[in-house]
C-alpha cells in the first residue's frame, strides 16, 4: 500500500489546527457546498442531505484524526490509500468554508496562486489564508503521490524549493515516502 509520511512543523501547523477545528465545527450540520434540492421530495431531500452531511463529517473526522497525540509527540502525519480520499474531501469542505467565511474578499486568482501580501491581512484572515494554503498543499501531496501516477521507488515527495529546510537522508522503503513540505519540520 502506498503511504506518505510527512513531518510537519508543530509551531506552524498547531495554530492552523485551531482554524480547521473551528471550521469543522461549523460544518457539523451544514454542507460546505449546499445543494438546491427544492424540486426533490421533502423526505428524500432530508434523507439525502443527512447522508451527505454525515459523510462530510466523517471525512472531516478523518482529517482531524491525523493530528492526534502521536502528531504532537513527533510532528508526523501519514496519508495512505485508506484515508487519502476522505482527507481530500475534508480538505475541500474546509477550504470551501474558509473561502466563504474569511476569504471572500480575496480574488480567486490571488487566493489560488498564494500571491497575497500577508502583512496587509488582518490576523484572522492571515490564519484562514495560511490554513487554506496548508490544506491545498495536503491535497496536492495526496493527489500526486497516492494517485498511482507517482513511482514510489523513484520519485520522492518534494517540497517546493523555497520551503525545503535541509536535505534528509533517504531512508524510504518501497511502501513509504517521507516528506517535508511548506509546513514542514522545524529546525
Q: How far is CA 3 from the centre of its chain?
A: 16
Give helix then strand counts, H and E, for the chain: 6, 3
Length of the chain, please? Answer: 187
Query: Under a CB-based contact definition with an 8 Å cutoff, are residues 70 and 46 in contact?
Result: no
Nearest to 79 by CA among 95, 92, 62: 62
Q: Where are the domains of the chain?
A: 11-179
- Are 181 and 157 in contact by the 8 Å Cβ rule? The answer is yes
Chain Cα centroid distance, residue 17 = 10
pLDDT digit of tens for each residue in the chain (187 aa)? 889 999 999 999 999 999 999 999 999 888 898 777 777 788 887 888 889 999 999 999 999 999 999 999 999 999 999 999 999 999 999 999 999 999 999 988 888 888 888 888 989 999 999 999 999 999 999 999 887 644 333 233 433 333 333 334 333 444 444 444 555 543 3
Amino acid at each position: 500500500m502506498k503511504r506518505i509520511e510527512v513531518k510537519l512543523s508543530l509551531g506552524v501547523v498547531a495554530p492552523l489546527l485551531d482554524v480547521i477545528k473551528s471550521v469543522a465545527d461549523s460544518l457539523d450540520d451544514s454542507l460546505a457546498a449546499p445543494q438546491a434540492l427544492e424540486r426533490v421530495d421533502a423526505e428524500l431531500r432530508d434523507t439525502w442531505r443527512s447522508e451527505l452531511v454525515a459523510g462530510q463529517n466523517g471525512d472531516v473526522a478523518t482529517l482531524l484524526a491525523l493530528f492526534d497525540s502521536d502528531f504532537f509527540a513527533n510532528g508526523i502525519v501519514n496519508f495512505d490509500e485508506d484515508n487519502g480520499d476522505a482527507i481530500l474531501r475534508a480538505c475541500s469542505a474546509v477550504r470551501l468554508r474558509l473561502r466563504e467565511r474569511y476569504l471572500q474578499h480575496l480574488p480567486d486568482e490571488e487566493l489560488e496562486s498564494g500571491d497575497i501580501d500577508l502583512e496587509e491581512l488582518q490576523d484572522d484572515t492571515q490564519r484562514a489564508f495560511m490554513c487554506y494554503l496548508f490544506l491545498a498543499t495536503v491535497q496536492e501531496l495526496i493527489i500526486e503521490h497516492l494517485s498511482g501516477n507517482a513511482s514510489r521507488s523513484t520519485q520522492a515527495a518534494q517540497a517546493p524549493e523555497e520551503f525545503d529546510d535541509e536535505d534528509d537522508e533517504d531512508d524510504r522503503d518501497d511502501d513509504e515516502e517521507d516528506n517535508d513540505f511548506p509546513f514542514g519540520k522545524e529546525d
